[in-house]
Amino acid sequence: MMSVNNRLHYFHCLLQNGEMYRNPTEVKMSQIVLPCHANYCEELSAGQLLKWMDSTACLSAERHAGCSCITASVDDIHFETTIGVGQVVNITAKVNRGFTSSMEVGILVSCEDLFSNRQWPPFATFVARRTEAGKLQLKQVIPRMQAEQMEYSLAAERRRMRLIHAEIINDLLSSCSCQIVSECLDYRDAVPAEQTRVESVELVLPPHANHQVSTFGGQIMAWMENVATISASRLCNAHPPLQSIDMFHFRGPSHIGDRLVLKSIGNNAFKKSMELGVCAEAYQGGEPLRHINTAFMTFEVLDNDRKPCTLPRIRPEPVDGKRRFQEAIARKKIRLDRKYIISCKQSEVPLLVPWDPITIMFSALKMLAARNNWVLTSEKNKVSLYTLEENQMLCFKVETHVAMAAEWVFLLLSDLRRRKAWDHHYQYVKCILNNEKTPSVIKRGKVQDFILLASWRHPCDSGDPYLIALRSVTLPAYPPTEDYNRGEVLCAGFKTASSGPWCCLISYYNQATPGVLPYISTDIAGLSSSFYCTFASCSAFLEENKDSLASLPTSTL
């Protein structure tokens, strides 16, 4: 039901002497899903799963610390499948790394069906916990397996992102051209954000307390998920499933007898998803409200084929609503970065390959283009941006129509040496060998160079598209240098399909690699219009140069 990465197979590994290795901080929990744990669809409630995960993580943290621990925050959680009544949820937690007085706990969740013996692949999230005695010096975690060493290193990077999360939001909002909020105010069908506002109160009773006699963190998360679901339902007039949760931040404790005020409101609605902001505040008697927790939850509506539906836009409230509207766009970009980079989902894929037959390139490009589950992320000036999340990879597609013959477009785009004329990211392109190019790319002030195998194909039959395939390769004669950061392209290329006598559809595909993702996710989140500007420049380039091709034969390439 959740996924940040599925590399945590290190919970059980064999040592060199054949013995089964088990991490000393490991804690397991198995729960069968009963009707009381399910939602209206007879599927495991996200709030109930959060409770079980928090309990398991707490026991693991306390096993390492030797004292009581409390939850400080929970990293992004992505809900990708459902768990039904009668199935078994297996949760395993272990400490990835200990810091001064806090630690990161990795949680591995899997599901099995006892009747069919079917098992679902494991998935994971990360929880930052601190000791109850804040100044207690934690002992260090000693990673023994290679996968543990990887998680040990990544824990420091995830901790850095938690600490500077607010600064990242501010930097994104100040440095990127965010969507203009006033545009949303003009949407006739936009739903006022006030319509999604939900406020509820809960009395903390003894069953809601943990063994430290404070409110159980998992219970607070479950209550927050409940009000957010109601808020999301008011926007779309349906029962939307929870897609993901941004980092939970526990800012203070609450105790038995406290009243918890839970508030939720819609911050922004994208093409296929919406973000809800949720906060929890506590008070007792005549005391002022204490801020307990904040989270941002993303919902989507699925049709009968379990594909995302298009959602109505949200009209933000004046002043504070506009700020939340813009920050939701920035958080969308951060979610993409953390999901695919910090979790290292793509780090195990070998990108650079030796010079190889070009058939592999076209096969990969054709398979990517043939996918039918692309999700439209945004549109601007007749340029459409699509994304596809599949096999733990993030792919994107950019499409636009041009008033030119497909063959002419193909001829102009095939000459990669001219790409710098319309793509401002390229400084220069040099041909090394036949079908091979070396572009140098500027990205966020850092210069990258690529060794690319580029090849193209004319249509085999009428109706087939023109193809230009790109893929990173290695050449001993051109090793990486200190002057440039060597970039990598796993699978990319252009497909040009005729849609009329003098009109064609240009599609650009790319399987985003970790080095490209920060730039890509800025456009996907709506913080930048770089792709639209680049494709507008490409269209202008094609229009300006089409006359020079009118007299050229098809065999020019």
Give pLDDT tens digits for 476-506.
878 888 888 787 888 899 999 998 888 999 9
The answer to whether 26 touches 93, Cβ cutoff 8 Å, is: yes
pLDDT in tens, 8-56: 444 445 555 556 667 888 999 999 999 999 988 888 988 899 999 999 9
Least confident piece of the model among 163-172, 526-535, 537-546:
163-172
**Nearest alpha-carbon partner for 554 in 459, 435, 481:** 459
For residue 162, what are the contacts with CB-CB under 8 A and spacing of at least 6?
A: 73, 75, 128, 247
Decide if 1-163 and 353-556 have a common fold: no
The answer to whether the CB of 549 falls within 8 A of the CB of 408 is yes
Q: What integer pLDDT is reported at residue 177 of this predicted model?
A: 53
Average pLDDT, integer, range 507-530: 81
DSSP character at residue 405? -
Give which of 339, 259, 326, 263 is closest to 295, Cα–Cα. Answer: 263
Beta strands in 247-330 (DSSP E): 248-250, 259-269, 274-283, 290-299, 314-315
User: Is 1-163 a CATH 3.10.129.10 domain?
Assistant: yes
Domain 353-556, what fold? Alpha-D-Glucose-1,6-Bisphosphate; Chain A, domain 4 (3.30.530)
pTM of the model: 0.73
- For 328-339, give the DSSP string: HHHHHHHHHHII
Using alpha carbons, list the distances in angstroms from residue 127 to 26, 162, 249.
14, 11, 10
Instruction: Name residues whose C-beta falls within 8 Å of residue 237's C-beta, 6 or more positions apart in sequence.
Output: none
pLDDT at residue 550 in the model: 58
- 442: pLDDT strictly greater than 70: no
Residue 276 has pLDDT above 70, yes or no: yes
Is residue 224's pLDDT more than 80?
yes
**Tokens coding 526:** 């709506």
Q: With 50 as the cut, is the pLDDT of residue 443 above it? A: no
Contact assessment for residue 121 and residue 6, using Cβ atoms and an 8 Å cutoff:
yes
Q: Which residue, 95, 125, 124, is CA-closest to 110?
A: 124
242-256, 285-299, 429-443: least confidently modelled range: 429-443
Query: Across the chain, what does the average pLDDT equal?
Result: 80
What's the CATH architecture for 166-345? Roll (3.10)
Residue ranges of the domains in the chain?
1-163, 166-345, 353-556
**Residue 122's pLDDT band (cuts 50, 70, 90):** low
Whether residue 88 is predicted with pLDDT greater than 90 in this model: the reply is yes
Confidence at 3, pLDDT banded by 50, 70, 90: very low
* pLDDT band at residue 453 using 50, 70 and 90 as cut-offs: confident
The pLDDT of residue 49 is: 92
Q: What is the pLDDT of residue 85?
A: 92
**15 vs 168: which has the higher pLDDT:** 168
Q: Is residue 160 pLDDT above 90, yes or no?
A: no
What pairs with residue 260 in β-bridges?
202, 282
- Kindly report the number of other CB atoms within 10 A of residue 557's CB atom: 11
Task: Give the pLDDT mean for 180-199.
Answer: 75
Does pLDDT of 350 surpass 70? Answer: no
Amino acid in position 418? R
More reliable by pLDDT, 19 or 235 = 235
Nearest-angstrom CA–CA distance, 79 and 49: 11
- Distance, in Å, from the CA atom of 91 to the CA atom of 308, rounded to the nearest integer, reads 28
Distances (CA, A) of 541 to 57, 414, 427: 56, 13, 17
